[in-house]
Amino acid sequence: MVTFNAIGGKMKRQKLNSILAIVLILSLALFISCEAKKNTADMRITMEKEVSRTYTPTDVNLSITNYELTCTSPSNEIFKYTTKRNTFILEGVALGEWNIKADGKNDNGTVLVSGSTTFNLNDTNTNATVILNELKGTGNVSLTYSWNSSLVKSPKLVITFKGVDNTENRTIEPPISSGAAVLSLEGIPAGSYTSNAILYDGSVQVSGAIDAVRVVDAKTTAGSISLNLDDAPAIAGHITLENKVGTPVNCVITGIENGQVLTAQKKYDIELDTQGISAEDITIQWYLDGKFISSDKKTSITPVPGMHRLDIIANTKMLGSTGSTQINFEAAVLGVTGQPVLAGVIENGDIKIGGRTNIDFLPDGKLLIVSDTYQTASICSIVRNSLKLENSVAINKAIKKIRVLNTGNIVAMISDSDNSALRWTYDKNTCSLINLVNCAGNIYPHTAALKFDRIYDIVHPGSWVTGSFGVIGYGDEVTAISLRHLTNSNTTPGSSDNFVRSGRTVNYGSLIDYSITASSDDGDCIGYVNPEGKAAGSKAINGTLKTKAFEDSRLVGASAIAIMNSPDTESIRYAVAVGDSFVICKGNLNSGLSVVGTVSRTEDGSSLNTNYMFTDKKGTYLYALNTGDNSISQYLMEDDSLTFVAKTDLEITPQRAAISNSGVYMFITGNDSSKILMMKINTQSE
C-alpha cells in the first residue's frame, strides 16, 4: 500500500483526504475438531486492509468497511456472508473444491475491489488465500491544468495518461482557453494511473508535472494542478508507503528540500529513503519538470538555471497502491559575479544554425541569429532556458558579421563573399526585417571605379557619423581604413543605395591591412591591429574622428581585440590577445598610442588561441573565447590591467558571443557548429 501526502513548495496541489483500500488478503485455516467428521471442517477467513492516497474522487469513501463473501461448495451450494470484521469463521463446511469470491465495499455499499480463488480443502491443504486484485467498473477523470497566460504566449499542453499496469496509454492535447486546459476522460477502467503533463510555448518546454490518479467505478476524479513553478503547495517531500506486511512507513526524499535554492549546473544526489522497504517491493519513477530521469531509489540531478519541479511516482505490489509527491526548487547562478553558467543548448532545427553563425540582441530583447550556411536570419524569443522561433527571414547571402545598431531598429550586415553591406529595419510588431537597402556588391570610397577588396567590421553610429553606420575595410587602390555610411540616394551612375564616403575616410601613412578590429557600443572608439604587429586607434573628439597609428613587436601574432574603458575624453584603451598574454594599448589621440603593459594568462591556461573578445554592458568585465581548450575566460578590467576571475568550459569550439541588454543572458556560437550555448550570468555577489 502506498499513501502519498500532498506536497508543498511552489506548486499548488489539491489535498485529498480519502483512503483507498487496495489489496485484501483472505486467509483460510482449517481446524479439525476431535468430534468432527472427516468430511467437514471449520473454515476461518481472515481479511487484512491497507490504504493509499492520491488524486481521487472527492465524493466517495475509499476505505473498505465491510466484505461480502460468496462461497460455492463442492456440491454447488452457494453461501453468502457479509461481515465488518476482518475475521470470519464458517463452521462445519464440506471438504473438497470451493470457489470463493470476495468484494470489498465502502460504507455506502460501493464495491471498491474484488477477488476470487478456487481452493481444494482437504486434510493436507488447510490454508487458502484470496487476493482482491480486481478493481471494479469504470469512472471519469477531470483534471484542470493552469498557468500564467501572460508568460506563455503560444501554449500547447501534451498529456500522457497511462495505467500503472500499462493497460491504458493515451496522449492527449486538450483545447486551451485563457491559460488553462482540462483533461476530460470518460469510461476509464477503475484503477491507478499517472497523468504526465508537459507545457510548451511553441516548441519550447516551459513546465511539466506528473501526478498519480485513482479511478473509481461510477465516480469522477477531479483535481486542479498549477503549472506555475512559483506557486506553493503546503507539504512536500514525504510519502507514506506500506511494507509487505501492511505496516505504514514514512518515506522521505533526501538530498534536497522543498523551496531550496540550489547552485545551477552542480550535481546533487537525491534518494527516497524507504525506511527498510526492500527494492523488490517498490517501484519508483523520478521526473524533473515532467521528464523521466530514473527508476532507482537513489539518483542525481544537475539542474540548469531556473525554477524546477521534481516529482516522484511510487507504488508497492499492493493493488492500486500508487501515488505521487513533489519538491519545487530553484537552481540559481551562484558564485563568481559575472561568470556565465550553462543554461541550455539550442540545436539546429527550426532555428537555423550552421557554419559561421552571427548573433546580436534586438532592442526588444529578442535574439537575432544569422547563419551563412542557410543564409537565413532567425528572430527568437527567450523562453525559459531555450529559444522560441518567432520569424525567419531569407538573407540570400553568406554574412560575415552583423550588428544591431545603437540607434534602435537598424540592423547592419556585411558579406565578404562580394564585400557588400546590407541595412534592414527591424519591425518589432511583426518580428521581421524589412525595407532592405543593399549596396549591390560595392562599397564605394569615392568613385564607382574603386571599392573594398576586403571588408571586416561594422561600426555603431558615433558622434562623428553623418550616415547610418560605418564599415571598416581595405582596398589596395584606396585607403588603409575607410569608414563608409549608407545613404538611400542614387549617388553613383547605374547604381542605387550605395555606401558612400560622406567625407569620413581614415587614411594615414602607407596602406595597411588591419584585419582585426573592434569598436565601442557608442561608436566613438575604434581599435585596429593586424598579426604583423601594426596597430591604430580612432576616437571621436568634439564630433571629429581622430586616428593615430603605431607598431610594436609585442603585438605580433595578435588574434583578437576588445575596447576597454577610456582613460579620458581624448584617449583610447584596448586589449589585444597575443598567444597566452594580453597586450594593453593606450594613448591620447592628439599625441599618439603605444603598448602600456602585458598581462600573462598563466592562471587561465596555455595554448588558449583566443579568437574573440568582448566586454559586459557595464564595462566591468572582459570575456575571451578560447578555441584552444574550448572555454570562455572572464577578466576584471582595472585601469591598464586585467585580473583573471574565472573560466568556464564549453561543449563547442566558440566563435562569437552576445550579451543581452539586461546583462543576464549570454549566447555563444560555435565554429562550424550546429549548436548555440545559452548561458546565464551571475549578477549577484557571493
Distance CA 558, CA 303 (A): 38
**Residues in a beta bridge with 55:** 213
Query: Which of 70, 132, 352, 113 minimizes the C-alpha distance to 215?
Result: 113
* Residues 326, 239: Cα–Cα separation, whole Å: 10
Q: Work out the widest C-alpha separation in the chain, in whole angstroms.
A: 129
The three-state secondary structure class of 279 is helix
- Pairwise CA distance, residues 401 & 372, whole Å: 10
Q: What is the pLDDT of residues 184-243, one digit of tens each?
A: 999 998 888 889 999 998 888 888 888 888 888 888 999 888 887 654 443 455 555 544
| C-alpha span between 537 and 583 (Å, rounded) | 14
pLDDT at 323: 64
Residues in the chain: 686
DSSP state of 53: B
Regions of the chain where pLDDT drops below 70:
1-55, 85-89, 124-129, 133, 229-251, 276-277, 279, 316-323, 439-452, 465-468, 475-511, 684-686
Cell 573560466, located at residue:
647
- CB atoms under 10 Å from CB of 118, counted, come to 10
In this predicted structure, what is the pLDDT of residue 584? 97
Record the cell numbers describing residue 4, joined without a space. 502519498
**For 635-686, what is each residue's pLDDT tens digit?**
999 999 999 999 999 999 999 999 998 888 999 999 878 999 999 998 764 4
CB under 8 Å to 494, separation ≥6 — which residues?
448
Q: What pLDDT does residue 53 have?
A: 34
Q: What is the pLDDT of residue 576?
A: 98
C-alpha cell at 427: 519591425
Output the pTM of the full model.
0.73
Instruction: Compute the distance between CA of residue 64 and CA of residue 104 in angstroms, rounded to an integer.
Output: 6
The domains of the chain, with CATH numbers, are 2-14+137-332 (2.60.40.1120), 25-135 (2.60.40.10), 346-681 (2.130.10.10)
